[in-house]
Amino acid sequence: MIFGSLQTLAAFVITLGILVSIHEFGHFWVARKCGVRVLRFSVGFGKSLWTWTDKLGTEYVIALIPLGGYVKMLDEREGPVAEHERHESFNAKPVLSRIAIVAAGPIANFILAVFALWLMYMAGIRTIVPQVGKVLPDSPAAVAGLVPGDEIVSIDGEETPGWQQINMELLSSIGDTRDLSVGIRAGTPGQLSSAAVREKSVAISNWLVDDSGEGIADPLRELGIEPYTPPVPAVLGELTPDGAAQAAGLEAGDRIVATNGQPVQDWLSWVHMIRASPDRELQVELERGGQTLELALTPGVRELDGKPSGYIGAGVQQVGWPDEMVRKLQYNPVAALPRALDSTWTLTSMTVESLWKMVVGLVSVKNLSGPITIAKVAGASLQSGLENFLYFLSMLSVSLGVLNLLPIPVLDGGHLLFYLIELVRGKPVSERVQMLGLKIGVTFVVGIMMLALYNDLSRLF
């Protein structure tokens, strides 16, 4: 537990450190190119943990609280500047230079996203072939004629080599009422087919939005599709020490054949039997080392969905996917670049659309996430492999870039708004208006941060 928490914290610090460093480096690099003196480059806030100064007088700081960072430049608005140094101050630079410096941070985040995705495509992506395992009755997929065994090869003309791409395409249509064009290749569950691709029209209405305005968490299930998974036999994996399974004499590798005389077809059917039998003795027939044994097993009791449910403290022995159902998409450096650019554009447009749909009520503000959720997802993505971490890093980097470009005073986008007005008017926005905007912006941003933290805690507890 402690090791897992430390790993999650480390993943969070690494992820946020990369994002903040790249964002602030964008401001820093362009500021120096524009002749602005940079006084401090800080990653994190609060007490300094590590500090050094370069030959140009810039102080570099690694601070205690890793929730952001900043670049401090010479600026007459923040303190007196000697006349001979005025040409190096930020506020003395032409408005186009100031626009370039402020925009450089978010632009650096988009460049980071492209770089992370470029690395991911070169390293290779392992993905499961998106084959339909089950179609729910009367669902949009069923009405459109999709059946188990169909492989989904495209949605609205976009290739979908895996379930992740399918989910991304479905999420991009939140709130829509129209027909989705779904390309499918007919086949048999668990076996790939070379059949011709056919187009199916799947009707959606107020897609992924319920009466309360909250987005549906599982777009595939809302479409009426359950992905194909290989059959999982009822073979025990790891046992919990002092659990009911271990107390009854069960061992890892045991294959459950029957319970109370009822044949056990697979792992899921046995789970249902156990959950339906809290604190009731069961006669379990099993195979172990070529022999058939019978043991008495009494599941423990815990609450599940407000009702007592049986559990025995045992996991399933993992089943591998057939080789033909696993794809590895890997590209050379030249071919990977356009795919990285395209994926970055897709993530950017989806982020912008999601924010807009949140404003108009098509997506609930409950979908906002804060540092706790980011930390958990960062830890999980780091554990699950380089490709998942790189993808998560690119998603966060795009989100940070988009959010910082919003025209809200205190964010980069707010400063850009003031400078663009200055460019059109020929003179700066008054200090009074800027200060009023700053107060409104700080209030708004703090409110959003508190809402995101509240959502985090709600999910946690």
Beta-ladder partners of 284:
259, 295
- One domain, residues 299 and 405: no
Is 250 part of a structural domain of the chain?
yes
| Total structural domains within the chain | 3
Is 194 part of a structural domain of the chain?
yes
Beta-ladder partners of 132:
227
Final residue before a domain boundary, out of 284, 316, 348: 316
CATH number, domain at 284? 2.30.42.10
- One domain, residues 246 and 288: yes
- One domain, residues 98 and 144: no
- The residue with greater pLDDT, 376 or 149, is 149
Distance between CA 203 and CA 180 in Å, rounded? Answer: 6
Which residue range forms the structural domain that includes residue 401? 2-34+93-124+391-460
What's the whole-model pTM score? 0.78
Interval 332-359 mean pLDDT: 90
Is 172 part of a structural domain of the chain?
yes
- One domain, residues 289 and 404: no
pLDDT digits (tens, 9 = 90+) for 310-329: 999 999 988 888 888 888 88
Is 68 part of a structural domain of the chain?
no
- One domain, residues 241 and 304: yes
Pick from 378, 372, 373, 456: which is nearest to 7 by CA? Answer: 378
Question: Other C-beta atoms within 10 Å of 441: how many?
Answer: 19
Beta-ladder partners of 151:
131, 185
Is 48 part of a structural domain of the chain?
no
Interval 447-452 mean pLDDT: 81
Annotated active-site residue in 24, 151, 222, 285:
24
- One domain, residues 111 and 25: yes
CB contact at 8 A, 425 and 152 = no
- One domain, residues 186 and 325: yes
Would residue 24 show up in a list of annotated catalytic residues for this protein?
Answer: yes
Could you give the C-alpha distances from 194 to 74, 135, 225, in angstroms and in order?
65, 21, 22
Could you give the C-alpha distances from 240 to 232, 256, 304, 316, 319, in angstroms and in order?
20, 17, 19, 12, 20
Is 69 part of a structural domain of the chain?
no
Distance between CA 53 and CA 129 in Å, rounded? Answer: 52
pLDDT digits (tens, 9 = 90+) for 12-40: 888 888 999 999 999 999 999 999 999 99
pLDDT digits (tens, 9 = 90+) for 57-87: 999 999 888 778 899 999 988 888 888 889 9
pLDDT digits (tens, 9 = 90+) for 222-276: 899 999 988 889 999 989 888 899 999 999 999 999 999 999 989 989 999 999 9
CB contact at 8 A, 256 and 264 = yes
Q: Containing H/E element for 295?
A: strand 291-297
Q: Containing H/E element for 321?
A: none
Interval 210-217 mean pLDDT: 48
- One domain, residues 13 and 119: yes
Identify residue 50 by its one-letter amino acid code: W
Could you give the C-alpha distances from 417 to 87, 130, 400, 437, 438, in angstroms and in order?
24, 44, 18, 11, 12
Is 39 part of a structural domain of the chain?
no
Distance between CA 261 and CA 211 in Å, rounded? Answer: 46
Mean pLDDT of the chain: 87
Is 59 part of a structural domain of the chain?
no
Final residue before a domain boundary, out of 307, 329, 351: 329
